[in-house]
A and B are shown apart, each in its own frame.
Chain A
Amino acid sequence: MGLDIGLDIAFWMLAVVGVAAALAVVTLRDVFRAALALILCFLTVAGIYITLSADFLAAVQVLVYVGAVSILIILGIMLTHEVQRGSLSNKLKIPAFIVSVLFLGAVGFAVLSSTWQVSTLAPTAPTTAALAGKFFGEGGFILSVEVAGVLLLAAILGAIVLVREK
């Protein structure tokens, strides 16, 4: 019971901080500060994974997003001189807001009006060995893993070709 309350407190703290960080990303005028808020948002998502007992995914989230993607984005901000102009909005600010609120309303209605068949089984923990079995084991996702490798190779080559000096 005490663990449950601890998980509840952790969820609410992470949720509030994560949503605040995401709001900061879209409202801050300074592009660089928006990128820093994005890193905070990624970190809270990693914490959310831990409250969902997805330990391997939390580690991957920190490595891939907090470590790699955010560095890539900060490098992109540094290499382009838009920092001085700030993060401006275009003419579609109000329609975009209306669309987002409508989307949120639709999702909230769908989630709250559905009856979910929540399982009472205890979740697998730790997940790393079980996930490895899913990826590489018999009847697993081995083809998808290999396709993902090819996709990453294609992305690396594409990025190099795109930014290469002529």
Chain B
Amino acid sequence: MSVGLEHYLILSGVLFAIGLYGALAKRNAIIILICIEIMLNAVNIAMVAFSRYITPVELTGQVFAVFIMVVAAAEAAVGLAIIIAIYRGRGTIDATEIDLMKW
């Protein structure tokens, strides 16, 4: 069977599931951020695959993918700044110990 839309969507789902597991199960805040980046990349693969197979001449999916990249880059910069600020104040970036706002 030739590679088609379903293959790309399943690949995207697998990458998203791996990122979801990491984001839920890891303690290091930077690893959580990395896993969120993997999830955003998985979404981008799905966007570009839809753009390629459903609307090959419209390119709208690729436009959305570019905007996702912009937001992901901004999110990585602000997220790392927050993590470094927390590390300065508390001396740890263990997500289980950053529980100041926990009720």
Hey, which bits of chain A sit against chain B, CB under 8 A? 4, 7-8, 11-12, 15, 18-19, 22-23, 25-26, 31, 34-35, 38, 41-42, 45, 48-49, 51-54, 56-57, 60-61, 64-65, 68-69, 72-73, 75-77, 79-80, 82, 85, 87-93, 95-97, 99-101, 103-104, 107-108, 111-112, 116-119, 121-124, 127, 130-131, 134-135, 141, 144, 148, 151-152, 154-156, 158-160, 162-163
Please, which residues of chain B bring their CB within 8 A of the CB of A100? 17-18, 20-21, 24
A52 to B27 CA separation, bound complex (whole angstroms): 35
Would you give 8 A-B contacts (Cβ < 8 Å), ordered by A?
A: A45-B41, A54-B48, A80-B87, A107-B9, A107-B13, A131-B62, A148-B71, A155-B73
Across-interface contacts of B49 in A (CB, < 8 A): 52
- Is A134 in contact with B63, judged by CB distance below 8 angstroms? yes
Closest to A94 in B: B25
Q: Is the CB of A108 within 8 A of B56?
A: no
Are A69 and B28 touching (Cβ within 8 A)?
Answer: no
Q: Is the interface of B mostly helix, strand, loop or mixed?
A: helix
B53 touching A141, Cβ below 8 Å:
no
The chain B residue with its CB closest to the CB of A77 is B30
Report how far A69 CA is from B77 CA in the complex, Å.
Answer: 8
Quick check: A124 and B59 within 8 Å, CB to CB? yes
Point out the residues of chain A lying under 8 angstroms from B95, CB to CB: 90
* A74: nearest chain-B partner, CB-CB: B30
Q: Which residues from B are CB-within-8-Å of A77?
A: 30
Is chain A's binding surface mostly helix, strand, loop or mixed? helix
The answer to whether B25 and A90 touch across the interface, beta carbons within 8 angstroms, is: yes
| Contact A72 B80, CB 8 Å, known A34-B34, A118-B53, A121-B56 | yes
Check B14–A117 contact: CB distance below 8 A: no
A51, A76, A158: the one contacting B83 at CB < 8 Å is A76
Q: Hey, which chain B residues are within 8 Å of A93, CB to CB?
A: 25
Known: A123-B52, A130-B59. A45 touches B44 (CB 8 A): yes
Residues of B within 8 A of A92 (CB): 24-25
Asked if A87 contacts B28 (CB within 8 A), the reply is yes
Cα distance A159–B73 in the bound complex, in angstroms: 12
On chain A, the residues within 8 Å of B26 by CB distance are: 26, 87-90
Give Cα distance in the complex from A144 to B64, angstroms.
Answer: 10
B74 to chain A, nearest CB (A): 3
A121 touches B70 (CB 8 A): no
A sample of 18 more A-B contacts (CB under 8 A), given A19-B11, A123-B57, A162-B78, is A22-B15, A26-B35, A38-B38, A48-B48, A52-B48, A52-B49, A54-B65, A57-B48, A65-B69, A73-B33, A77-B30, A80-B93, A88-B27, A93-B25, A100-B17, A111-B10, A134-B60, A159-B77
